[in-house]
Chains A and B, each alone.
Chain A
Amino acid sequence: MNNTLSHTDLTLVTCALAAVASPLLAALVNFCLPVKSKIAGWASTVAILLSCVLAAKVFAGVWNNPQIHVQQVWFTIGHTKVYAGFLLNNLSVLMLLLVSVIALPVHIYSTAYMKHDDRYSRYFTYLSFFCFSMLALVVVDNLVLFYAFWELVGFSSYLLIGFWFTKDKAVQANKKAFIMNRIGDIGLLSAIIILFAMYGTFDINALFGHEGMLSISAIRDGQWAIQPDLLPRSYGSIWLSGGASGSLPAIWQCIAVTGIVLAVAAKSAQFPLHTWLPDAMEGPTSVSALIHAATMVAAGVFLLGRVYPLFTQTELTVLACIGCFTAFMAATIALTQNDLKRVLAYSTISQLGFMVLGMGVGAYSSSLFHLVTHAFFKCLLFLVAGIVIHEMQHVKEENNLDIDPQDISLMGGLRKKLPLTFVVALIGGLALIGLPLTSGYLSKDGILIQAFEWSDGKAAWFKIIPVMALLTSWLTAFYVARLIFKVFFGEFRLPQIYPGLKMHMGDGGWQYKLPLVLLALCCFFPLFSFNPFGYEQAWLSSGLRLHGLAKFGSIYHLSIPALVNIFSLLVIYAAYIIYVKQSTFSFPQTGFFYRLSYNQWYFDRIYKRVFVKPILGLGKFMYWFDKNIIDGFIHLLAAVSRFVAGFAAWADKYIVDGFLHMVAAIVQSIGNFARKFQGGKVQYYLFSMLAIVLLLFILKILI
């Protein structure tokens, strides 16, 4: 540990360590409990509550104070020392607090939601392990550790998505999520290796921190190197460990960034690796809430936040394009989905697209701000969806219906049956749309305004990005309105289809209500800013501002919010007309765009055709090749050697043994012949004697 660490800093680090470790402890305890034990839920919840409190303490101590960086030698290879430690700066303590705060209501909710599950304690084991991985991910200071926890997050999400492993779809979904994430992991790993080759260190602070190595390196003349003229005066000389050259061809920087982008795309479900997220809805809804809110999918954006200085301007533009396209695409898909959770999943992808777009246009703080605000309202919406699905499931089971409890076309009018759920869903929905007074307004408009400011003074086509983002936010308004209207307004459609249903619906116990209320309260502006209309004033936004990013006012600060919100209200009204008033106007369900959207832009089908089929074909060919050529060759060898062995056996049996047998037979026959003269018959002895004497006489005469 650093000797310079003050007493308070040491306390904070200990707190952070405890906050990270307590879910792990809970996971270990739960792992030892029997699978149905009800203690598990409370063990995990208490652990995450503890994490929450400790994280809050760490947050209060570190926020807007100098960062705390402690490390210890982890292992040494040759002369390279690899350190492990904590890096507590504004970004990591914010994430630490956010993850634990979001996880707490999800845990409370889960104790009720998973009550009747057969593997109750397993669920909480996985959940706690997931939280541990994510909490550790945000505080580690080292890319190797980062990668390890990045993998653990992926692994625990695999366990959680496939929690109901008897369902075939769940198994397919978790496999898909896992494989998609592997693709990203390869990217991250290669980026880490390239960075190590370049700078000889894994230390995030030394690489990406203020005055870190990346801030003093640049690409000039096709070489990516540390530029001496960028060195601050305070630096006497730059020391690079492990024989790193500090200079590589520029292409490697490109590859490293591509790797990072791939990793971000996989974890944060960006185009082209987004298809796992909607399928991941097969897990329990509470898991969806956690994965979608602040943890798994946020990890990608968090990674972007960590390695931000790595990106060059061009690469940021590409990033913005990816984010923009993802946001738009996901929003269009969300318009037509009928599965309650799928709409929300696409909404998450869309909002993550916004965050990546924000990163791409340099709206670093707004992007992370959006991550934070989005966590609350998306978590809230998922918990709401969980309650709705839960109640629909009850109706289904009570009446033995064959329906999909997640199908929103069967719902409607639930506001009377689930009043609290309705109110919080409305709050969450409005925040997601980004209407004034909500937290979503602050963060989303921040991104939009900065996207417009960014495109100013650039070529005309750069305007496409902010305009698409603007369009996307209206689409968001539409699909959110559609979802809420279809679920909570109008008449309940299920009794109309199946008359005489028995129904007992309600908001559920306090374990359902408390998390909803907590999260709903966090969807309003006062938590983040005293001024409901200015994202610049948000404490969060200013705390995360990067050094050297200028902030300037422009006409957009007034026009964009007005444009967005007025249009959004119009869109919501249109949705109201369509879905509640049931006016004559309805969307044609056969058009190309409808089908494109309903089939999720055919991504799954394209991937199936372009990647899965050829790979399966390749696999089949390999199998065939293995079976016929390689095995055939082996079999041939076997046959040949078997033949040789057979011949040897035959030769052994008939030639070698045969010779011996012949010798034996000769000896035996001689013996037999000789024996015959000793048969115990006296006359025969005489006879033979006579014969021999005669023979001798004849021989004597002849010779």
Chain B
Amino acid sequence: MITLTDFLIVSVMLFCIGLYMIVSKRNAIQILIGIELILNAAILNLVAFGKHDATNNSGQVFALFAIVLAAATTAVALAIILNVYRKYKTIDPGKINNLRD
């Protein structure tokens, strides 16, 4: 029997991995992946909590919204990263330390 706690544990693990990736990776793409992992952890929570919700499937709906929003933001972020790469010839966020034109 899979309980809510198991979902939460997986979610926490995903969150932690995501957070760790955001903080430690030197590659903007991997950071984005880390963000996706955190989002996924949150979405997993939404879906898991949705089972106990009075309204039907509201958790899944929120999850869908969140996935769409995440895809949108990631698209924007990828565009930014591509622009950054063009300007700085790197996508290491540690080396991008100014916001000049």
Contacts and interface: CB of A to CB of B under 8 A. Distances in A.
B98 A680 contact: yes
A681 B26 CA distance: 11
B32 interface: no
A679 B22 CA distance: 17
A687 B23 contact: yes
Nearest to A689: B23
A690 interface: yes
Contact of B23 (A679, A680, A683): A683
Contacts of B97: 679-681
A686 B22 contact: yes
Nearest to B94: A681
Nearest to B97: A680
Contacts of A680: 97-98
Nearest to A688: B23
A644 B24 CA distance: 59
B98 A683 contact: no
A683 B93 contact: yes
A181 to B, nearest CB: 96
Interface string B22-61: 1111000001000000000000000000000000000000
Interface string B76-98: 00000000000000000110011
A686 B23 contact: yes
B27 to A, nearest CB: 11
Contacts of B22: 683, 686
B23 to A, nearest CB: 5
A683 B19 contact: no
A683 B22 CA distance: 7
Interface in A674-703: 679-683, 686-687, 690
B37 to A, nearest CB: 14
Nearest to A679: B97
Nearest to B19: A690
B99 to A, nearest CB: 9
Contacts of B19: 690
Contacts of A686: 22-23
A207 B98 CA distance: 111
Nearest to B23: A687
Contacts of B94: 681, 683
B83 to A, nearest CB: 16
B23 A690 contact: yes
B18 to A, nearest CB: 11
Contacts of B24: 683
A72 B94 CA distance: 108
A682 B24 CA distance: 11
Contacts of B31: 683
A686 B93 CA distance: 12
Interface in A648-667: none
A679 B94 CA distance: 9
A163 B25 CA distance: 104
Nearest to B93: A682
B17 to A, nearest CB: 14
Interface in B5-24: 19, 22-24
Contacts of B23: 683, 686-687, 690
Most chain A CB within 10 A, of B19, B22, B23, is at B23
Given A681-B94, A686-B23, 6 more contacts: A681-B97, A682-B93, A683-B22, A683-B23, A683-B93, A690-B19
Interface of A: 679-683, 686-687, 690
19 contacts: A679-B97, A680-B97, A680-B98, A681-B93, A681-B94, A681-B97, A682-B93, A683-B22, A683-B23, A683-B24, A683-B25, A683-B31, A683-B93, A683-B94, A686-B22, A686-B23, A687-B23, A690-B19, A690-B23
Interface of B: 19, 22-25, 31, 93-94, 97-98
Q: Which 4 A-B pairs have the closest CB atoms?
A: A680-B97, A687-B23, A681-B94, A682-B93
